[in-house]
Amino acid sequence: MIKRAVLLVLCLILLLPGLAYAEEEHPASLEKPASLSVRSNESGDLLLRLTHPQSIMKQMEEDEYYFFYEFDWKINDGPWKFNKSWDRRGNISLFEYYETTFDLWPVCGIINTIAHDDRNSIDIPIFPYVFELDAFDFQNNTYSFRFRYVYEYPDGDGYSHIVSPWSDVASIGKASAAQIPDSLEAPRNLAGELRKYENGQPYFHFTCDIPESVEEANKLVKVWNALDWKIGSGSWATESGELLFEEGSYTLFDKMDIDPIDEGGWGEINIEENTYYFRMFFKLQKPDGTIVRSPFSNVVEIGTPAFYSGASSWAEPELDKAAEYGLIPDILKGADMTKPITREEFAELAVLLYEKASGKTAVPVSPNPFTDTNNPQILKAFATGITAGTSATTFSPNVLINREQCATMLYRTIKAIAPDADYSIAGVADFPDQKDISDWAVEGTKYMFKLGIIKGDSNGNFMPKAITTAQQAAGYGMATREAAVLMTVRTYEKMDDISATKSVSDTGGDGDATSLPEGYPSDIIPLYKNGKIVSVERKTFDTGDVGYAITIDYVGEKTSEVNGHYAGLMMQADNYDGIIGVKSHHYGNLGGYRIEIDFTQHFPDQYSCTVVIAYYKTN
């Protein structure tokens, strides 16, 4: 009781002196509250999040009306606690009513005196003693809340009131359906510029677009922006443990001014000597203390352009071309180019090449199959068949990649850009270290070598990957960032020539090019139903063996079932090697045949795909 009385007295002392009634004019009506949500915090107390419509804010700020909020609640299916009618004249004020009748706080208060965020929202704490409880029991009870606005003005020797409709009901506990999200979309279209105060001191100004889903999440729980930063080739603040730029009130905003000099540690802003990089993300905190973070936005750079750093002198001319072509992704801007490249970095590089060369915008796969990344660029690379995961649920974004993996990902990128080009590798000799190249990488490595995009060492070795412990320790066969960017530049410059080539069927002049070859092992690899054979070509394999490649189109068939049919057959093969995704590859020896099956879903259509079955007899 002492705590309640103290809080009530403080409330009255702080609020009543500032309350001024309009003597003549009163609002005609009050709009219904925009939204109400309720959540618990780590202490077991509740926070009610009130969001006001623009009309209420205008009446407070421009018309200078003072409004009360008034809460009501119930437990389970019990009656509402208050539900008092204020639509007629009374002889006591709201504060007097709640003080003498229930002696509870904060059943009502004046919203004008509470700081609101940019979304017109405020958080009001509710403690168990309001319910005359020691603690809330969310397992066995449901606590429901609503609130409304009340405008009070003197009327003779009493008071009259204008009352809004009640808000929608917000509940928490056993029967509550409201869920705080487990993920957030990234900020969109982050933009920034350097500005100056009147005294000439520089500061940064940023704007961004906030996705609707984030706005909705902010109605349930406080969401705020965080700005990550780095200077030149330094580390991002999120990686080095430096402080992020966050508003002290932890509110959601689409405009933000940052004064790093006031923040400390930056000395002075010098855009003539430094490049400053920024990227934004959203955060929220769940009641159990868990922080939910969105992916990063695009990267904004302010200052002297620094598209790369630490590059080898021999790589700089082509790196400059990459910057000119717009082929350096955000994740590599300002990075030390001599360092090894990760799967995530290369995926972003390949997607940028695909979009620049094709003129198309890749679409991320949905839902996200991976548990270790939500980078939309990786999801784009997966959707277009440029890359696959390291398992059904993992991508391993920070794993370094080797030369044969780079060659294969670039090969798939080129095929995604120009699917009808000629990808023959006939006549390309084996490398001296051919035995070290993985089966699934042979086509890609030879084709990229044929184009002159990826070259070997002075002895002709491709150096696909490290084989020995000593090679692993020396970083043998690994791809650097600068080498990967150079491969991309060369690919981009050759795309017109690549697209101009056409795949030529070689049926040997005998037989129907849309009929199965004589002796096709249909008992081993039966065709899935309702497929249309569009071509049958003779194929010379890397081993020198001659067989066939059969291309089959499926329309109207569930692509997962088509892929599952061929995957199920091939998983019985000896030396099976496969990748499953929007583009799948199944290789192995089965029933006396070498069989290689490539599956491509015509993304995002789940009822259209192409299957290529290549085979030759091994005995």
Q: Contact, 583 vs 598, CB < 8 A?
A: yes
Instruction: Give yes or no for a cis peptide into 27 (omega within 30° of 0).
Output: no
| CA angle centred on 336, ends 334 and 342, rounded to 5° | 100
| CA angle centred on 363, ends 359 and 368, rounded to 5° | 155
- Please state, in angstroms and rounded to a whole number, the distance separating the CA atoms of residues 395 and 212: 28
pLDDT tens-place string over residues 393-430: 899 999 998 888 888 899 999 988 988 888 888 777 88
DSSP H or E run through 255: strand 255-258
pLDDT tens-place string over residues 465-520: 767 777 677 667 688 899 899 999 999 998 888 888 765 444 333 434 567 888 88
Percent of the chain with pLDDT over 90: 20
Residue keyed to tokens 């009530």 = 8
Specify the pLDDT at position 114: 82
Specify the pLDDT at position 83: 67
Q: Where are the alpha helices (DSSP H) in 111-235?
A: 212-220
Specify the pLDDT at position 11: 43
Specify the pLDDT at position 8: 39
pLDDT tops 80 at residue 528: yes
pTM equals: 0.44
CATH number, domain 181-306, options 2.60.40.10, 1.10.274.10, 1.10.238.10, 3.40.50.1980: 2.60.40.10
pLDDT tops 90 at residue 342: yes
Specify the pLDDT at position 552: 92
Specify the pLDDT at position 101: 60
pLDDT mean over 120-135: 83
Specify the pLDDT at position 187: 94
Specify the pLDDT at position 44: 75
Q: Contact, 442 vs 577, CB < 8 A?
A: no
Specify the pLDDT at position 14: 38
* Short-list 241, 281, 257, CA closest to 201: 257
State the pLDDT confidence band at 45, using cuts at 50, 70 and 90. confident
pLDDT tens-place string over residues 267-278: 566 655 677 889
* Ranges 75-84, 132-141, 473-482, 496-505: which has the least confidence: 496-505
Specify the pLDDT at position 571: 84
What is the fold of 2-173? Immunoglobulin-like (2.60.40)
Q: Are strands 202-209 and 223-231 parallel, antiparallel or unpaired?
A: unpaired
Kindly tell me the sign of the dihedral angle through the C-alpha atoms of 518, 522, 527, 529. Answer: positive
* DSSP state letter for 336: B
- Please state, in angstroms and rounded to a whole number, the distance separating the CA atoms of residues 54 and 120: 8
Higher pLDDT, 40 or 254: 254
- Please state, in angstroms and rounded to a whole number, the distance separating the CA atoms of residues 59 and 120: 13
277-298 as b/e: b if 16+ CB within 10 A = bbbbbbbbbbbeeeebebbbbe
- Please state, in angstroms and rounded to a whole number, the distance separating the CA atoms of residues 144 and 122: 18
* Ranges 326-330, 410-414, 614-618: which has the least confidence: 326-330
pLDDT tops 80 at residue 88: no
Residue keyed to tokens 């510029």 = 193
Backbone angles phi, psi at 373, to 5 degrees: -160, 150
Specify the pLDDT at position 221: 76
* Short-list 211, 221, 216, 237, CA closest to 290: 221
pLDDT tops 50 at residue 250: yes
The token pair at 185 is: 């979309």
Q: Contact, 152 vs 163, CB < 8 A?
A: no
Specify the pLDDT at position 308: 67
Backbone angles phi, psi at 346, to 5 degrees: -70, -35
State the pLDDT confidence band at 91, using cuts at 50, 70 and 90. confident
Q: Integer distance in angstroms from the first to the last C-alpha of the chain?
A: 92
Q: Are strands 188-196 and 170-173 parallel, antiparallel or unpaired?
A: unpaired
Percent of the chain with pLDDT over 70: 85
State the pLDDT confidence band at 148, using cuts at 50, 70 and 90. very high
Q: Contact, 573 vs 585, CB < 8 A?
A: no
pLDDT mean over 227-242: 85
The token pair at 50 is: 């009130």
If you average pLDDT over every residue of the chain, what do you get?
Answer: 81
State the pLDDT confidence band at 22, using cuts at 50, 70 and 90. very low
Q: Contact, 354 vs 410, CB < 8 A?
A: no
State the pLDDT confidence band at 355, using cuts at 50, 70 and 90. very high
Domain ranges in the chain are 2-173, 181-306, 307-504, 532-617
Q: How many residues does the chain have?
A: 619
The token pair at 65 is: 């009306």
- Please state, in angstroms and rounded to a whole number, the distance separating the CA atoms of residues 540 and 261: 66
Specify the pLDDT at position 505: 42
pLDDT mean over 343-348: 93
**Residues 6 or more apart in contact with residue 17 via CB below 8 angstroms:** none
Please tell me if the domain spanning 2-173 has the same topology as the one spanning 181-306.
yes
pLDDT tens-place string over residues 204-225: 899 999 999 998 888 777 888 9
Q: Contact, 550 vs 522, CB < 8 A?
A: no
Backbone angles phi, psi at 102, to 5 degrees: -125, -20
* Ranges 63-67, 247-251, 344-348: which has the least confidence: 247-251
Please tell me which of 39-43, 127-131, 261-265, 377-381 the model is most confident about, judged by mean pLDDT. Answer: 377-381
- Please state, in angstroms and rounded to a whole number, the distance separating the CA atoms of residues 423 and 187: 40
Specify the pLDDT at position 33: 93
pLDDT tops 80 at residue 200: no
Please give the distance of CA 195 from its chain centroid, rounded to a whole number. Answer: 30
pLDDT tops 90 at residue 175: no
pLDDT mean over 138-157: 87
pLDDT mean over 293-320: 80
